[in-house]
Chains A and B, each alone.
Chain A
Amino acid sequence: MADVPLDRVAETAATEVEDLTLHHPHSWLTRYVFSQDAKTISIQYTVTALAIGFIALFLSWLMRLQLGFPGTFAFIDAAAYYQLITMHGMMMIVYVLTAVLLGGFGNYLIPLMVGARDMVFPYANMLSYWFYLLAVVILLASFFAPGGPTGAGWTLYPPQAILSGTPGQESGIILMLVSLIVFIAGFTMGGLNYVVTVLQGRTRGMTLMRMPLTVWGIFTASVMALLAFPALFVASVMMLFDKIFGTSFFMPSLIELGTPLDYGGGSPILFQHLFWFFGHPEVYIVALPAFGIVSDLIATHARRNIFGYRMMVWAILAIGALSFVVWAHHMYVSGMNPWFGFFFATTTLIIAVPTAIKVYNWILTLWRGDIHLTVPMLFALGFIVTFVNGGLSGLFLGNVVVDVPLSDTMFVVAHFHMVMGIAPVLVIFGAIYHWYPKVTGRMMNEALGKLHFWITFLGTYAIFFPMHYLGLLGVPRRYHEMGEASFFPASAQMLNAYITVLALVVGAAQLLFLFNLIWSIRHGREAGGNPWRATSLEWQTPETPPPHGNWGREQPTVYRWAYDYNVPGVAQDFIPQNMPPEAVPLGPRPAPGGMS
């Protein structure tokens, strides 16, 4: 480590040079609760977010019960249905997907994958989790508040979000907005860490172009989230003022139940612009980490270097930049200048190009690869199929003339669940199966994992694919029952019942995963340090699970990129990133297929 520029590594090397025990936690409380270790924070984030995920899943069950068998469950009336839909959407998008992919995986993987000892600002990192937990508690508190949680729809459009006809108007909407503001403050502290650790915390030899694509994805998504969440912050603050202090940022003149309200002159469209200026990048804030993780899962389990690494990096950057200039495609039906519609349709369709490049590169990585159908690989493959499906229906919806009739039908519900619901969730499952051995030192049960995969993958496909058809028939979204209309046949209701039964089954199957997750902590097969024989740095730690400080005495030095699988003329089928060129064993490979 002698010739490392000292000021660059000073932030991380201090623990190593001076006193290894200096920053180590000394009590149970600082080790497991108020921990500043990114790995512990990651586990806290992931466990909290998974818990919220199960609550949100349960809410979707209730919605599906009402849609499949309307009227059977008296407590799910129209108001309750709106509350379910709102909480399910907001929880899943912000408090589950964003929190797991950035707070969970970002915290665990960034420092380990770039060879750092920890995040650069551990204290802010710890605060980030506690802000997140506070936001979650505030959000859940609205279930117990008078009037219940808000039923404004996850987009919280004014004016209806704060008018008296909307459930949760008393306090639910306030708690929702406050929770979002706290979440954003907390995320900013975490996001600063993810970005600056990638910028300044990389170990020697780890140039940007040697980083695994997982880090590229999380890094770019963090930058985007730091710049997009302020839009939601601004919208939330202004709506809070409208609700509490009676200002008219968004509220037009209104007559409610015969009484004119004090509001006047505000613009609901302004809220939509702010909301979607956050909302569209949010899609890619969820998608880019998933893209990155899938690239690494596929390369590792197909024993093949990622096809077109540079193109993959450029595509991530291009998607990140483009996603900030497409927001108004969520507002075609709000009315806009046709030229704007033309502009936003064009940018929306252009995003398909870098995205398609990524899909082709995954396929070409698999092509003639040594594919091991492990559980993480199955989930990665499931992701590609689901994502392509959802992406293609996105091309339909990106066009103004196609979007206008399809908007507000079940087609849109099917589209966004495929592309940013199921697809990232499959990646999250795959990633957990993949990195679990590093976190716990034990493998998750493979048979249970495969059962979980097939039920989840086939089940969700069977749920959401027919939903496109319902949408094409004209079945509206956001309605708590379909009712009767001349344009859809009676069989449409049967399809709804069928979707509900499947949703119950798939939801219940997630208990398999939960059981596996907990059971394997003690009873899983011993994994060793590098069970998948992967190249990236997190698998090369001296101990598994890695202790505080990650690397023992000396930080690793990186000599190569993260995808040296099956290099010709090398005696093993992978070369770790920290293996010096002179240490690489040359010669013929021993009998192939030694692994499952």
Chain B
Amino acid sequence: MTAAVAFLVLLAALAAWWLYGQRLMSRPWLAAGIVEDTGGLAHMPAAKVGLGVFLAVVGALFSLFLSAYTMRMQLADWSALPVPRILWVTTLLILLASAALVWAVRSARRGEKERALDGLLAATGFGSAFLGGQLIAWDELAGSGYRLADNAANSFFYVLTGLHGAHILGGLVALVAVTVKLWRSPDAAAAQLPVELCALYWHFLALVWLVLFAVITGWAGDFLAVCRQLLS
């Protein structure tokens, strides 16, 4: 359960930092009168905070899956599957989608509607291609005999990529909705917040994919082994 606990420790550190700005040491029974709210989140839109909390939940979900993965892979019957080459392409695609969204956010902030639309469309395209690539990877593996129930390594591969793909699919639906919204609205400023939210969600999922990819290929394990050697 190391990955899950580590993730929660990270969240706890964030929560502690936020609580530090909330005057938890104040003596509320002494001070009557108006106290204005302070702290890091007071001026953020609720939707952004909501997305942040949601991403914490998604992060917990994936870190728990990774915990299960690392515990299960230590058992005797585990046999790692070959990593399909196409995953390198999809990794590139998801990063390109992220980059397109960075572009879209910048353009939307500057009020350049056309450029923002270009960014969103590119991100939708790269994102769809990513999903297609993942499906090809499934097809390749299944075709060469690595089926879901044959080994826990296969099961984890399909479940993890499937769950991540489902989240990506949700992100694509949101992207399309925001694209339509921006396309219809007279100025880019109105859609700025939704574009930012899409980008935030997408960057997070790209990060999750990088971690998943590192774990599936076994690099994460090698890296941790090196760390352990350095420490001991």
Contacts and interface: CB of A to CB of B under 8 A. Distances in A.
B176 interface: no
B164 to A, nearest CB: 13
A247 B4 CA distance: 23
Contacts of A325: 5
A192 to B, nearest CB: 5
A206 B31 CA distance: 12
Interface stretch (A149-157, A168-176, A306-314, A523-531): A306-314
A245 B45 contact: no
Interface string B22-49: 1111111101111111100111111101
Interface in B1-37: 1, 4-5, 8, 11-12, 15, 19, 22-29, 31-37
Interface in A203-253: 204-210, 223, 226-227, 230-231, 233-234, 237-238, 241, 245-249
Nearest to A273: B1
Given A7-B43, A230-B64, A231-B4, A200 B49 contact: yes
B159 interface: yes
A200 B75 contact: no
- Size category of the A interface is 35 or more
A12 B49 CA distance: 15
A581 B30 CA distance: 12
A237 B158 CA distance: 12
A265 interface: yes
Contacts of B41: 199-200
A8 interface: yes
A320 to B, nearest CB: 9
Interface residues of B, number: 56
B53 interface: yes
Contact of B34 (A237, A238, A559): A559
A247 B25 contact: no
A411 interface: no
A310 B30 CA distance: 12
Contacts of A539: none
Contact of B33 (A273, A309, A317, A559): A559
B76 interface: yes
B43 A8 contact: yes
Interface in A246-305: 246-249, 262, 264-267, 270, 273-274, 277, 305
B143 interface: no
B56 A226 contact: yes
A159 interface: no
A246 B149 contact: yes
B22 A209 contact: yes
Given A231-B4, A325-B5, A581-B33, A561 B50 contact: no
Contact of A207 (B37, B47, B159): B37
Contacts of A120: 46, 50
B57 A226 contact: yes
Contact of B35 (A195, A207, A223): A207
19 contacts: A8-B37, A11-B45, A120-B50, A196-B50, A199-B46, A206-B37, A207-B35, A223-B15, A226-B56, A234-B64, A241-B155, A241-B159, A245-B155, A265-B78, A267-B72, A270-B68, A270-B71, A557-B34, A581-B32
Interface of A: 5, 7-8, 10-11, 120-121, 188, 191-192, 195-196, 199-202, 204-210, 223, 226-227, 230-231, 233-234, 237-238, 241, 245-249, 262, 264-267, 270, 273-274, 277, 305, 309-310, 313-314, 317, 321, 324-325, 557, 559-561, 563-564, 581
